[in-house]
Amino acid sequence: MSRERDGRSAPTRREYLKYGGVVVGGGLIAGCTGESGSESTPESTTSETTTATTTSETTQTSSEDETTTESESYSVSIEPVGEVSFEGVPETWVANNGSWADMGVALGVEQPEGIWLPSRYHTQYYDDIPGVSVDKSSIQKLWGDGGVGKEQFYELDADVHVADPNFLLNRGNWEQSDIEEISTQVAPFFGNSIFSRGYAWHEDYRYYTLYQAFEKLADVFQRRERFEAFEQLHEEFQARLAPVVPGRSERPSAAVIWGGGDQPEEFYPYVIDEGTSFKHLRDLKVKDALATSNLKDFHSSRGAIDFETLLDIDPEVLLVRGQEAKSETEFRETVVEFMEEDTVASELTAVQNDDVYRAGPLYQGPITNLVVTDRLARSLYDADETLFDPQRVADIVNGDF
């Protein structure tokens, strides 16, 4: 069976995937227009048990092969999509961003065929994880000209689209009919915009923590044992981190700002919220210097600030976003040296005390979160040893528990 589209025959969606979700609609709401492959501007910018329903009588699961057999069907539910039924484990997929892509790496599945902005999927975090790597050059960039092209979904022909459909409705210039078309003609959507809690269109349905979302994706790919191994590793990491974090009175106040390029002079202020992009800062109990200031958060104001405004607040630490593509050395030789030489910036306490650091990425999965939390623990609190075992991360990815 085939369908006619644009005057030519095209294959129908894979028959072993059945879409059973309901997408929460919403009006088009304007957001940040600074979407590009560079990081000169910001991003278009409780525990729940997942139940998988299985209709077959047998399940094939082990640390070597956790995937279900082809005869099995199961369903997984996530807001705002609803329940999605699968009659086989997805093999190819598309990810909204690096948060979900990193979850896929942690689960040991094939890397996604496409991502909105591959430039913001920072795969260098895998450099210290033995035998774990991603060929980002083979991941197709989906975002361009202010949105995501629908035709690309037909071209990639993935088994599942791990993305919040409401993001496409409100940020990607899609209509509800586009969501329904791709869901039925290609493959279902399955995702939630977990990285930020600053979007008005996300106020009427739930968010997920990083590990709640990770658990959902593990059930989609039928890799629950890997998820549970990572969950245990994360708990042990938190236990090691706790004694490293000093008491509140001893923790420095920090301002999280977005400043792209080698010589940033304007910045977008970020107040630390419950989104996954701030998980490492919450785990480190970073004192938010901007939360107690008169500045409006980037998501509410879309406004930029300069060095003079920062000097009025004068945080003890500056955490700069938009710089994750740089190594620590590159960051210091460009951004930090520029601040040290600038007439106003050089008066900042953070600059004078050499307390200017990369803030970590917008998009964090389980591996990324371990790496950036460990990195910042060394910078902020002088942790003198790695707080997690990279080899154990690699073992879990490879199914060796």
How many residues are listed for the chain in this entry?
A: 401
Q: Is the pLDDT of residue 102 over 90?
A: yes
Residue 242, in any domain of the structure: no
CB burial of residue 236 (10 Å; 0-12, 13-18, 19+): middle
Distance CA 147, CA 153 (A): 13
Residue 131, in any domain of the structure: yes
Distance CA 327, CA 342 (A): 22
Same domain, 83 and 184: yes
Residue 368, in any domain of the structure: yes
Residue 401, in any domain of the structure: no
- Neighbouring CB atoms inside 10 A of 144's CB total 14
Same domain, 131 and 156: yes
Distance CA 112, CA 98 (A): 10
What is the pLDDT averaged over residues 366-383? 96
Query: 154 to each of 9, 13, 338, how far by Cα in Å?
Result: 12, 9, 46
What is the pLDDT averaged over residues 350-369? 97
- The three-class DSSP label of residue 182 is helix
Decide which of 185, 208, 237 is a domain's last residue: 237
What is the pLDDT averaged over residues 206-229? 98
User: What is the DSSP secondary structure assignment for residue 127, as one 8-state letter?
Assistant: G
Same domain, 209 and 311: no
Per-residue confidence (pLDDT) for residue 198, from 0 to 100? 85
- The three-class DSSP label of residue 115 is strand
Q: Is the pLDDT of residue 96 over 70?
A: yes
CA Rg value for the chain: 22
**CATH of residue 275:** 3.40.50.1980
What is the pLDDT averaged over residues 259-283? 96
Per-residue confidence (pLDDT) for residue 299, from 0 to 100? 56
Decide which of 203, 237, 271 is a domain's last residue: 237
pLDDT tens digit string along 23-51?
333 332 223 333 333 466 675 433 333 33
Residue 94, in any domain of the structure: yes
What is the pLDDT averaged over residues 352-371? 97
Same domain, 200 and 336: no
Same domain, 331 and 362: yes
Per-residue confidence (pLDDT) for residue 71, from 0 to 100? 54
Residue 19, in any domain of the structure: yes
Distance CA 354, CA 267 (A): 19
307 pLDDT tier (thresholds 50, 70, 90)? very high
Q: Which domain holds residue 264?
A: 247-396
Residue 321, in any domain of the structure: yes
- The three-class DSSP label of residue 85 is strand
Q: Is the pLDDT of residue 340 over 60?
A: yes
Distance CA 43, CA 55 (A): 41
Q: What's the chain's average pLDDT?
A: 85
Q: Is the pLDDT of residue 251 over 50?
A: yes
Per-residue confidence (pLDDT) for residue 401, from 0 to 100? 83
CB 322, CB 39: distance < 8 Å: yes
Per-residue confidence (pLDDT) for residue 352, from 0 to 100? 98
How much of the chain, in percent, has pLDDT values that exceed 90?
Answer: 75
Q: Is the pLDDT of residue 16 over 50?
A: no
Closest CA to 161 of 96, 87, 79: 96
Same domain, 254 and 386: yes
What's phi and psi for 369, nearest 5 deg? -65, -40
Same domain, 146 and 283: no
Same domain, 210 and 251: no
pTM: 0.85
Same domain, 227 and 256: no
Across 340-360, b (16+ Cβ under 10 Å) vs e yields eeeeebeebebbeeebbbbbb
The count of structural domains within the chain is: 2
CB 141, CB 112: distance < 8 Å: no
Same domain, 20 and 88: yes
Same domain, 92 and 233: yes
Decide which of 183, 213, 237 is a domain's last residue: 237
Residue 28, in any domain of the structure: yes
Same domain, 270 and 193: no
